[in-house]
Amino acid sequence: MPGSELPLIPRLRDILQLRFTDIFAALSPAALAAISPANPLKRLARVLGYAGLRLVGNIFQPIKNRDDLRGKVWLYVVSANNYDALAFLAEARTDAVLVAGQAKHIGRYNAVVNRLSLRRKLLYYWRFPGAYLGLRRQVGGRATRFFDFIFYAIGYYEVYRRALRHYRPRAVVFSNDHNDDTRSLLLACRAEGVPTAYVQHASVSTNFPPLGFDLSLLEGQDALDKYRQCGPIAGRVALVGMPKADAYLGRRNTAPAVRRVGLACNIHDPLPALTETLVYLTRELPELTFTLRPHPSDGRDFGPLRQLLPGLQWSDARQENVFDFLLRQDALVAADTSTHLEAVMLNVASLYFRFAANPLTDDYYGYATRGLVERADTPAELAEALRRYAHHKPVDLYQRANYYNATLGTPDEGHSRERTASVLNEWLNENKPNN
């Protein structure tokens, strides 16, 4: 049955929940600049560019979907990682279709994802002044600092409600619970009475919104414990392991010593500190091979680093799956990223090392506190830990990940896809539409 509709301001407050948290406001200037420039004139220019190129451009962009979306199970994605997390369900169910917003960038999968029209989003921007003033009364100056996010979020809910009424999907399955377009669709589903499910695709944080899906398929106890701290959990929860890791768990690293070290970085890791650390490690540990893997969204210029360290290897995250990258490593060095968990599951020695000093993001996922990874606070400590692992790497590191992946060490290990699909199918059968 359709649910009640939230008024505009509470709705936008829900949609933008993560954007107004302390931890988001405290991100490094470099990280924020990539998504919301500090200079208000630059923010305004980006908003105008979004309206002109994206929204007006949507009007003239034809939508030719490869699948009929009517009555189907929608697998809604907002990134290539989301696609990788849900694509197996499209293979498991003939009525499942992958869906994204009209101009959403899904990386290498752009051409194969069905699109939901956002042309009518332009009709709702007259609400921006009232939305801005209402949110400013609730969150103060952060509404001004992030007025661009408010602008971007307007209209998603309305156009998605229209799409739901038009296509009447059987259910919508998500793999993201905090982006503005994702939360808009979730609220639209509630209002239209469309069942919703969630498949976790990466480690979660206690800063995320409360779980608000009818069915939540989580990887392990860690995620459930963290979501309990986020607020009341709606609907049913099942722990199913990590489907995207199934094909790799049987290929764990059995090397007795570390020889190859991968470093994963993202926009939150300052380039000067990253460069300094790499220079130090390559000098102190010349017998080891180092490979740097920037996040696929990290658009910084790494040219000077390539010239400075010509012996450094590189991994292109836009082309190489993270598990394929990890299979080529014996150890991983990174700050706050769920790649740590993926590494440990493959018995790759993982070391937590921070390139930035933001106290609000210290051990963001709790990996070091829980003992999943070893922590190094200085380059010297990091080098010493790598020397130790270069002498001997245990064969049972992966057992540390049991708390995060419910299937490890059980008969279901390596079969999370089947387990996820089975629970989802059972739930869908219980929620068959009335004819």
In a domain, 410, yes or no: no
In a domain, 2, yes or no: no
Indicate whether 97 pLDDT > 80: yes
In a domain, 267, yes or no: yes
- Mean pLDDT, range 402-418, rounded to an integer: 95
CA dist 305 and 278 (Å) reads 9
pLDDT digits (tens, 9 = 90+) for 211-267: 999 999 999 999 999 999 999 999 999 999 999 999 999 999 999 999 999 999 998
Indicate whether 80 pLDDT > 70: yes
**pLDDT value of position 35:** 84
Whether 258 and 231 share a structural domain = no
In a domain, 409, yes or no: no
Residue 154 and residue 123 in contact, taking contact as beta carbons nearer than 8 Å: no
Indicate whether 357 pLDDT > 80: no
Whether 48 and 110 share a structural domain = yes
**pLDDT value of position 323:** 94
Q: Which two tokens stand for residue 352?
A: 């937590």
Per-residue DSSP letter, 401: G
**pLDDT value of position 4:** 64
**pLDDT value of position 267:** 87
Whether 301 and 159 share a structural domain = no
Per-residue b or e along 143-175, where b marks 16 or more CB atoms closer than 10 Å to that residue's CB: bebbbbbbbbbbbbbbbbbebbeebebbbbbbb
In a domain, 408, yes or no: no
The sign of the torsion formed by the CA atoms of 245, 246, 249, 250 equals negative
Picking from 158, 157, 131, the residue whose alpha carbon sits closest to that of residue 146 is 131
Domain count, the chain: 2
Q: Which residue has the higher pLDDT, 32 or 234?
A: 234
Whether 228 and 260 share a structural domain = no
- Long-range contacts, 315-321 (Cβ 8 Å, 24+): 315/262, 315/291, 317/293, 318/107, 318/108, 319/108, 320/293, 321/84
Whether 147 and 173 share a structural domain = yes
Indicate whether 93 pLDDT > 80: yes
In a domain, 435, yes or no: no
**pLDDT value of position 298:** 86
Whether 374 and 425 share a structural domain = no
Backbone angles phi, psi at 408, to 5 degrees: -60, 130
pTM comes to 0.90
The CATH number that applies at residue 376 is 3.40.50.2000
Helices (H), 7-127: 8-15, 22-25, 29-35, 40-49, 56-60, 80-92
**pLDDT value of position 415:** 96
Whether 26 and 94 share a structural domain = yes
Residue 256 and residue 232 in contact, taking contact as beta carbons nearer than 8 Å: no
Helix (H, G, I), strand (E, B) or coil at 231: coil
Domain extent for 348: 247-403
Q: Which residue has the tokens 């939901």?
A: 116
Whether 318 and 181 share a structural domain = no
- Contacts of residue 138, Cβ cutoff 8 Å, sequence gap at least 6: 9, 13
**pLDDT value of position 362:** 87
Whether 261 and 290 share a structural domain = yes
pLDDT digits (tens, 9 = 90+) for 330-343: 999 999 999 999 99
Picking from 314, 315, 328, 204, the residue whose alpha carbon sits closest to that of residue 259 is 328
Residue 370 and residue 314 in contact, taking contact as beta carbons nearer than 8 Å: no
Indicate whether 2 pLDDT > 80: no
Whether 47 and 77 share a structural domain = yes
Whether 291 and 393 share a structural domain = yes
In a domain, 369, yes or no: yes
- Contacts of residue 264, Cβ cutoff 8 Å, sequence gap at least 6: 293, 295, 332, 333, 334, 337, 339
> Could you report how far apart the first and last alpha carbons of the chain are, in Å?
14
- Mean pLDDT, range 106-111, rounded to an integer: 87
Distance from chain centroid for Cα 265: 15
In a domain, 203, yes or no: yes
Q: Which residue has the higher pLDDT, 339 or 361?
A: 339
CA dist 75 and 84 (Å) reads 11
Q: Which pLDDT band, with edges at 50, 70 and 90, does 435 fall under?
A: very low
To the nearest 10°, the Cα dihedral for 172, 173, 178, 183? 0
**pLDDT value of position 434:** 57
pLDDT digits (tens, 9 = 90+) for 12-31: 999 999 899 888 887 777 77
- Mean pLDDT, range 67-89, rounded to an integer: 94
Indicate the average pLDDT of the chain.
92
Whether 196 and 276 share a structural domain = no
- Mean pLDDT, range 76-101, rounded to an integer: 93
- Mean pLDDT, range 292-304, rounded to an integer: 91
Indicate whether 203 pLDDT > 70: yes
Kindly report the length of the chain.
435
